[in-house]
Amino acid sequence: MLIALFTILLLGGGSTATLAYIADTQDSVKTVMVKDDRQKAALSTLKAMKKRTNARNKYVKRASKDMKKTLGQEDINTTDIDAIWAGYFAEIDQYDHDMLDLRWELKEHINREEWQEIFAGD
């Protein structure tokens, strides 16, 4: 349990994927937007966001596993911990950057009124 605690505290849990939820708005997009080329393009961008988030989640799973393994060793090497942490956060920075690119791509397909309706609950 201590290893699981140190791992989650070091890697920050779900706080590193705050934009992931945008990819889950397909149903709202289908409801709010007319079924046309713009809707098709918006759904395609959301699909790309989902794909990017899945790749991020895969990386996080691997980093968590490596961190747990390292923390569970009898002779813990702090250099290994730092290396896992640095790699993990480089991936998170890249993820944020990619998700922002995709968010702006999404905005190109959705007008102001539609956007406000899709994200009204937020």
Partner 1 sequence: MSGLICRLPSAMLFAAIACAFAGCASKDDVSPADVEKQAFEDLRTEIRAVIDDLAREGEAIALVNELSEDLNALRETIAKRRQRVRELNADYDTTRADFEAFFNQVDKEIKSNKRQVSEKQREFLAFMTPDERLAISKTHSKARDAAIRNIQTI
Binding site for partner 1 (CB under 8 A): 1-6, 8-10, 12-16, 18-19, 21-22, 64, 71-72, 74-76, 78, 81, 85, 89, 93, 96, 100, 103-104, 107, 112, 115-116, 119-120, 122
37 vs 122, beta carbon nearer partner 1: 122
Give the shortest CB-13-to-partner 1 separation in angstroms.
Answer: 4
Q: Is 49 helix (H, G, I), strand (E, B) or coil?
A: helix
Of residues 30, 20, 12, 10, the one with CA closest to residue 117: 30
Q: Nearest approach, Cβ of 51 to partner 1 (angstroms)? A: 19
The answer to whether 13 touches 56, Cβ cutoff 8 Å, is no
| Residues 77 and 70: beta-carbon distance below 8 Å | yes
SS3 111: coil
Query: Which one, 31 or 115, has the nearer CB to partner 1?
Result: 115
